Structure 1
Amino acid sequence: MTNETIITLLVSGIVISKTIIGILIYHLLKRNRQLRDEKLMLSELSTKLENYVTEVRHQNKELTKAEEFKLKVLSLASHDLRTPFVNLQMLLNFRHLDGFKETLYTDQFLDDIARQVNKGKNVVNDILVWASGQLNGTGLVKEDFGIKDRMESTIIFFDQQIKQKELQVELLVQQELSSKGNPGIFDFFIRNIISNAIKYSPQKGRIEIGTHEVLKNGKITLFIKDNGNGMNEHQVDFINSGKSQANNNLDPYHGMGIGLSLCQNLAKQIGWGLSVESQQGNGAKFYIELK
């Protein structure tokens, strides 16, 4: 074999080797690109999956909150519903008193019974309206309502307790003042705050209900103030943090936890705010910020 043949074979071998190497490199690069694209696709799918899982968790959390909210509404509603029937039972128990049988059916007694029955009917109606909205998926229907009119109705709702404690209740709300929201939820909200003000006011105490501020953007701040024993700094921070729950150690406001927790939920649902200012021995002043 001549030198020229050997050289030709070597050159051919080198060319063939480089061609094979080139083909291998091409396929390796192509495969690398495919792997990179697949990795990018998997990364995108992983991101979408994580977002989906996050969304599902968020929806589950919201559903849990919604269920807790409904249970709390029903809890406060049952409390409101119990009040007039307790008063009605007290009235009916008077028939056992000596000398009372002859005056059992007087107009005043019948008026008292009618008033308590009407209170119960109003609470039941509120519950049915709210429940109907939930079942129909309409949620919290908003409408314009007069604030003073609903406040006056709430005060009348508690007239028996107010009379028993000889409380002075002063309503300093302008007649023309109105807000937009769910009137039934507003009634739940206000009844709970006023109920606590009555409960923790001293005999012959004073409750003041008024307007603290009306902002240019239409937001209204109402206040409900009592001259009871008040709360300490820890209790005030506890309520303002929105974490109020039933707590037997919160004397003298130990019975307010669940109701205030519900009020916080109600406020968030309709875009309102709830806060309190208080010092021990100087009563409590609740602020309700309306839209």
Structure 2
Amino acid sequence: MKSGPYSIIDEAIIEADTIKLSHKDNDFSIEFSSFTFKNQDWITYTYSLNSENWIKLRPGLNTVTFNNLVPGTYEFKVRAKDYGEFYDEQELTIIIYPPWYFTTWARIMYLVLFVIIAIVIIQQILQRRKTKMELQEHLRAEQINEAKLQFLTNISHDLKTPISLIINPLRKLMRKDKEEERQKLYKIMERNSERILHLLNQLINARKFDQGKIELKYQETEIVSFVNSIISLFEDQIESREIQFKLNHPDTNLMAYIDPNHFDKIIQNLISNAIKFTPQKGTVEVNIGRLEKEDKFYISVRDNGIGIKESELGNIFNRFYQVSNNKSRQFEGTGIGLHLTKTIAELHHGTVKAENNEDQKGCKFIVTAPLGKAHLDKQEIILEPTSAVATKTETLPITSAYVTDELKEITPERNKPTILIVDDDSDTRNYIAAELLSHYNIIKKSNGKLAFPEVVKNLPDLIISDVVMPEMDGITLTRKVKKNINTNHIPVILLTGKTDKETNLEGLDMGADAYLNKPFNIDILKKTVKNLIKNRTLLKNTYSGNQLQEDKIKQVDVKSGDDALLNKFMDVVNKNISNPDLSVEMVASELGISRVHLYRKLKQFTNQSAGELITNIRLKQAADLLISKKINIAEIAYAVGFSSTSKFSTKFKDLYGMPPKNYREKQTQN
């Protein structure tokens, strides 16, 4: 009586009007009768399902079968026909229930689930779009911050030059003028100049730290005296603002491994901020101690200034972030100091945090770092201990007078070496010239493009060049000087405000003989100039710097296997001097060695590659022909293997500093 969970019928089938079936019982038959027991074979039955067309059965058949009906409600009707007359219709409702997963409730659940999934997908799409926009905003902010930092870094490099020209004359005044009152003013000027230099270096270092270009070198340092030496830099500010400054330290001797050249920036930034945001006659307190349980030391700087909003405590260490407190607008800064402080603290395996004071106005910054050296790699440690490290950023020695006006051209003296000074800053050019004028002939140029023809023309004994210049920078000038056969013996000193290792290495790779950072030490510069010129003078008796004299082109005195190789190289080049297709591969094949081996040997002998040496030999031969033969320049170019007169003129000008025509005229006049 059951079809699945449903009762098929609750009464006699004759009286029933509804039958209920599960979806599994959708194959069934219905039998019907007219209660006319005579002539059954003559009775014809017709039926209809769901009010569709009537279907006639053959006479005498009183059964209809349905197979595989889909779930739903069916209205079954049947009638009998006897002798052309229809009996009354009989109706039966058949309900086939669907499976549970096709029920109305299931469909409602599916709809609800679909709506939920649609909402989740829409939220995900909106969230991704929001995240993408936030990422774009973040990248845009990073680009803006990077542009700001790049701009500030460039400004810092530019400011280092005038700072050099402030500190050096100031130190001369400090040495000569012994009047006590003025000496006090000089010291204030000196301290503040050094503070400006510290800020400039801080801007430059911020970029280096962000790019991961700085490696710390740790040495054992006595922390109390180290911090005390930094506090001395702020004595004039503390005195002028009548600030009550306290340094508390229960330990008189607290040793820890730090990088003194960078850890001092943490202390300077925190003390500078505390003094800046503390009112007149306020208090600043520095506490130094140990955290015994954590095996760390701490340094806290506390003030009673304007404090920081709680909502902004988590952002103040972000780069370029400025607090929104209106009272702080009078103390605007770059927004780099605290970001740099956090970076350096983390590189020291420590932390830095800020919190507002509970018992008074103002805030407190706390720096922690590990004691001992177990957390450090051996290569990061400098073994020499130091009790207190002087932290006056960069000091400069006393120097000679600074020349404020452009120096007048002075007739060169024969017994004096000649120095070419190349710098786009006229004050720097004049200052260096004034310092060196008593012992050297001076030539000044404002950039490398103007300086190089002067180098080729006059062959100075030494070049002093800035690195960052318009049109042609110092690195490019050095490269051109060192690759030119007639000038590569000239020593080059590079001066720059860029202190990164990559720039220094690039300059030295180009052949620079010395690299001095701005603000440069004028005494070191003088000594470097003197030593380089002296060394070149000692070498002149045995080596003139010109690797391509006529005797070396035509004849080589064979004394060793290397000399024999050079002799064969010269023979091959001289025999094929007019062949425009002469190449390094051809020469190497003639000599029976690889191109790499030939390059290495020639670089060792002449400081030139094989291609450069072949070109210079051709140009040397062309120079001789210009003087000795009265033939046109095009014929000379083709005679020495150049297929283009324009290329020949360009190469000739690079080597001799003037076009072939001018060279012939000058040599003819001489």
Using structure 1 for the length normalisation, give the TM-score. Answer: 0.56
1:229 aligns to what SS in structure 2?
coil
Residue type at the aligned position of 2:366: Y
Provide structure 2 residue ranges, at least 5 long, that are not aligned to the other structure.
1-141, 171-176, 371-670
Q: 2:321 aligns with which of 243, 246, 255?
A: 246
Residue of structure 2 in register with 1:156 after alignment: 232
Aligned residues of 2:318 and 2:338 also touching (Cα < 8 A) = no
CA distance in 1 between partners of 2:357 and 2:319 (Å): 18
Aligned residues of 1:232 and 1:279 also touching (Cα < 8 A) = no
Residue of structure 2 in register with 1:168 after alignment: 244
CA distance in 1 between partners of 2:193 and 2:315 (Å): 32
How many Å apart are 1:265 and its aligned residue?
1.3
How many Å apart are 1:207 and its aligned residue?
0.4
Residue of structure 1 in register with 2:265 after alignment: 188
CA 1:154/1:252 → structure 2, altered by over 3 Å: closer, same or farther? farther
How many Å apart are 1:252 and its aligned residue?
3.9
CA distance in 1 between partners of 2:362 and 2:191 (Å): 32
Identity, in percent, stands at 27
- After the TM superposition, which residues 56-71 of structure 1 pair with which residues of structure 2 at under 5 Å, given as runs? none
Aligned residues of 2:247 and 2:285 also touching (Cα < 8 A) = yes
Residue type at the aligned position of 2:321: A
Q: In the alignment, does 2:226 pair up with 1:147?
A: no
How many Å apart are 1:189 and its aligned residue?
1.1
CA distance in 2 between partners of 1:140 and 1:287 (Å): 21
Spell out, residue by residue over 1:91-119, the C-alpha distance to the aligned partner (whole angstroms, 9 max, x if none): x9xxxxxxxxxxx9631321441364266
2:305 aligns to what SS in structure 1?
coil
Q: 2:180 aligns with which of 104, 107, 125?
A: 107
Spell out, residue by residue over 1:2-56, the C-alpha distance to the aligned partner (whole angstroms, 9 max, x if none): xxxxxxxxxxxxxxxxxxxxxxxxxxxxxxxxxxxxxxxxxxxxxxxxxxxxxxx
CA 1:232/1:279 → structure 2, altered by over 3 Å: closer, same or farther? farther
Residue type at the aligned position of 2:267: I
CA distance in 2 between partners of 1:178 and 1:108 (Å): 39
Using structure 2 for the length normalisation, give the TM-score. Answer: 0.26
Residue of structure 2 in register with 1:282 after alignment: 361
Aligned residues of 2:315 and 2:321 also touching (Cα < 8 A) = no
Q: In the alignment, does 2:178 pair up with 1:178?
A: no
Bigger helix share: 1
Residue of structure 2 in register with 1:269 after alignment: 347
- After the TM superposition, which residues 12-51 of structure 1 pair with which residues of structure 2 at under 5 Å, given as runs? none
Aligned residues of 1:220 and 1:289 also touching (Cα < 8 A) = yes
1:263 aligns to what SS in structure 2?
helix
Residue of structure 2 in register with 1:229 after alignment: 306
Aligned residues of 1:168 and 1:206 also touching (Cα < 8 A) = yes
Residue type at the aligned position of 2:322: N
Aligned residues of 2:191 and 2:233 also touching (Cα < 8 A) = no
Comparing 138-147 with 119-128, greater Cα deviation is found at 119-128
Comparing 144-153 with 107-116, greater Cα deviation is found at 107-116
2:216 aligns to what SS in structure 1?
coil
CA 1:118/1:244 → structure 2, altered by over 3 Å: closer, same or farther? closer
How many Å apart are 1:251 and its aligned residue?
4.0
Spell out, residue by residue over 1:161-200, the C-alpha distance to the aligned partner (whole angstroms, 9 max, x if none): 1111100110112330122111011111110110000001
Residue type at the aligned position of 1:270: H
Spell out, residue by residue over 1:35-86, the C-alpha distance to the aligned partner (whole angstroms, 9 max, x if none): xxxxxxxxxxxxxxxxxxxxxxxxxxxxx9xxx7xx69x86xx6xx99xx8x
How many Å apart are 1:279 and its aligned residue?
5.6
Aligned residues of 2:308 and 2:323 also touching (Cα < 8 A) = no
Residue type at the aligned position of 2:362: G
Q: In the alignment, does 2:190 pair up with 1:117?
A: yes
Aligned residues of 1:233 and 1:279 also touching (Cα < 8 A) = no
Aligned residues of 2:285 and 2:303 also touching (Cα < 8 A) = yes
CA distance in 1 between partners of 2:326 and 2:298 (Å): 27
Aligned residues of 2:221 and 2:255 also touching (Cα < 8 A) = yes
CA 1:142/1:125 → structure 2, altered by over 3 Å: closer, same or farther? farther
How many Å apart are 1:142 and its aligned residue?
0.7
CA 1:213/1:277 → structure 2, altered by over 3 Å: closer, same or farther? farther
CA 1:197/1:154 → structure 2, altered by over 3 Å: closer, same or farther? same
1:237 aligns to what SS in structure 2?
coil
CA 1:218/1:122 → structure 2, altered by over 3 Å: closer, same or farther? farther
CA 1:125/1:238 → structure 2, altered by over 3 Å: closer, same or farther? closer
How many Å apart are 1:225 and its aligned residue?
0.2
Aligned residues of 2:243 and 2:283 also touching (Cα < 8 A) = yes
CA distance in 1 between partners of 2:223 and 2:259 (Å): 12
CA distance in 2 between partners of 1:159 and 1:250 (Å): 28
CA distance in 2 between partners of 1:123 and 1:217 (Å): 37
Residue of structure 2 in register with 1:260 after alignment: 338
Aligned residues of 1:146 and 1:175 also touching (Cα < 8 A) = no
Residue type at the aligned position of 1:161: Q
Aligned residue pairs, count: 199
CA distance in 2 between partners of 1:143 and 1:125 (Å): 21
Aligned residues of 1:276 and 1:287 also touching (Cα < 8 A) = yes
Aligned residues of 2:246 and 2:284 also touching (Cα < 8 A) = yes
CA distance in 2 between partners of 1:123 and 1:143 (Å): 27
CA distance in 1 between partners of 2:182 and 2:232 (Å): 17
1:274 aligns to what SS in structure 2?
strand
CA 1:183/1:120 → structure 2, altered by over 3 Å: closer, same or farther? farther
CA distance in 2 between partners of 1:276 and 1:141 (Å): 27
Spell out, residue by residue over 1:207-263, the C-alpha distance to the aligned partner (whole angstroms, 9 max, x if none): 000025422453111110001111111122323xx4353326244446363211111
Residue type at the aligned position of 1:264: K
2:247 aligns to what SS in structure 1?
strand
CA distance in 2 between partners of 1:206 and 1:185 (Å): 26
Compare relative contact order (CA 8 Å, sep 6+) and give the higher one, 1 or 2: 1
